[in-house]
Every structure is written in C-alpha cells, then in structure tokens.
Amino acid sequence: MKYAINIINFGDCGDAATLAELARTAEDVGWDGFFVWDHIAWDGRIMPMVDPWVALTAIATSTNRIRIGAMVTPLPRRRPWKFARETVSLDYLSSGRMIVGVGIGDALAEFKNLGEVADLKTRGAMLDEGLKVVNGLWSGKQFSYVGEHYTVKDAQFLPSTLQQPRIPIWVGGKWPNKVPFRRAAQWDGVFPIFSGTDPESYPAQIREMILFVLDYRESDDPFDVTVQGTTPGNDLIRAVEVAAEYAEAGVTWWQEAINERRPDLIERAGKASWLDAVRWRIQQGPPRM
C-alpha cells in the first residue's frame, strides 16, 4: 500500500506557496503522494482559497518523486477540453506524476449558488460524457464526440499524455450508491466515501465495494482503491495497525486526511497554530514500519 496526504485548499492552506512547502516536507519524510481538494467555495464561508491547478503547479515544481493530483475534481463544473489541457500540462510538468480524481461534486455552494447544474443525475451524465471527451482529447489523435451535454468536432490536442495509455483516473462516489462504482469500473481506480460514522465498519464495506466493482471490470489492467482516514502521528504502532486493516481489505492507497475538523490537529493547534499542527502530522511520516 502507498501513502499520501489529502489536504484542504482553503483556510490556512488556501495558498499555493504553503501547499508547495508542505508537499516538499511530505516528500522528504517518505509520503508517496500529495493530493489537494478541488473547491472554489466551501460551506458558504468567506475565507482564503487557492485554485487547485495553481497549487498543483507549485507542488509539481517543488517536488521530484511524489504523486500529485486533485481529490476530487467535480468535472461537471469544468469545461472538459480545458481540463484536458490543464491535466496534460501538469503531467509533463511533474514528469508523469499526475493522477486525476473526479466525481459529480457535492457542495451546493459550488453549484446551485453559482448558477451551475445542481441536479445530481444530470451531473452524473455530464461526468460520464466529460470523461469520454477528456480521454479522447488526451489521446493526441483527431477526436469527435456528440453527446447531450458536450460536442467536439475534429479536435486534436497535442501533446498526448506523458503517461500511457493515459493519466490514471480515480472516480469518487458515496458507497453504497452503486452508480459511481459502475462508473469507476470503467477507469483506473475508485475513491469511496462510506456511509455511517463508525470507521470500524469501513474495511468490510471496502471488501463489499471491491467485489461489486470487479463484477463490472472489463479489463485486467491495474486498478487502485484509495481511501482517506486518519492515523495518530505520535503512535506509529497504532497508525500501522489502522492502515494495515485497510491494506488487508484491498486498499492500494491510504490518504491521510488533513482538514480543519480533525480533532488531534485542533487539539495540537491550541498549543501553537493549526498550520504548525499540520506540519507536525506530515513530518511524523506515513503509517508504515
């Protein structure tokens, strides 16, 4: 199993230079990936927020080894052809370290409040079409597409993706809703969010979810399963035990969740600052022996 940081792009982390500094630290201490949120508004609050593509540009130029990406991008509120250009540019800038995470989006502040499509089924259809467009434009070949939401006529984007056959695409969704997981089966990985508030039930849900996705897989190509959660930075043995349960369930990427609601960071921030608490957890390293 590989280990990444999953971090918010607002508040104290709403600055590209700050995220690049944290990513350098993560790389130095042995994390395998550094993934940022993709939000342009959050909970209706007014606070600093950085564009994820600007942040990923800074991160790509500040690191050499770790995988990078946005987890996850609500593709229905982005133009797929521009998204294709942005992600290919980052794939080259990072020397092939880019991973694309996508979903239909969730926060109303980013959709209904800003005049975007709010209906979930419509956004799901837009996501399916958008992924076909992005994948076609990534190919470097002439591409046309006619759908209900998007139309492309005789377009050819160069260069094609540095990674071949494409930049890995991980699809997010809320389990046990089946639609996102049938969608994920068509691509390269899945990023589930689980129902309930009892983390002890998550490994069992992961096993069930993996079996469901495998039933819809039409390829034997590698397929990633990534989840986010928290492990104690000051107790490596316990941290390893927590992560190991997920590895045994079939998870290939653990994402250490860094957000403003995390209790141990809030407690530690009371003695210093929230950003110092974030640095502390990253510096403790991933939950591996």
Return averaged pLDDT per consecutive 10 residues of the chain, 289 residues in all: 97 96 98 96 84 98 99 96 99 99 86 87 98 99 98 98 98 96 98 85 95 96 96 93 97 96 84 89 94
CA distance 70 to 168: 12
Best CA proximity match to 155, nearest among 53, 84, 56, 236: 84
As given in the structure block, the two tokens for residue 63 are 């690191």
pTM above 0.85, yes or no: yes
pLDDT at 162: 99
Give the residues across from 146 on adjacent strands: 151
Distances (CA, A) of 197 to 160, 179, 202, 223, 254: 42, 22, 9, 27, 18
> Quick one: pLDDT at residue 52?
97
The torsion defined by the Cα of 260, 266, 270 and 273, in degrees rounded to 10, comes to -40
The full set of domains in the chain, from first to last, is 2-283 (3.20.20.30)
Q: Which of 78, 82, 134 lies closest to 111 in space, CA to CA?
A: 78
Non-local CB neighbours of 203 within 8 Å, separated by 6+ positions: 245, 246, 248, 249
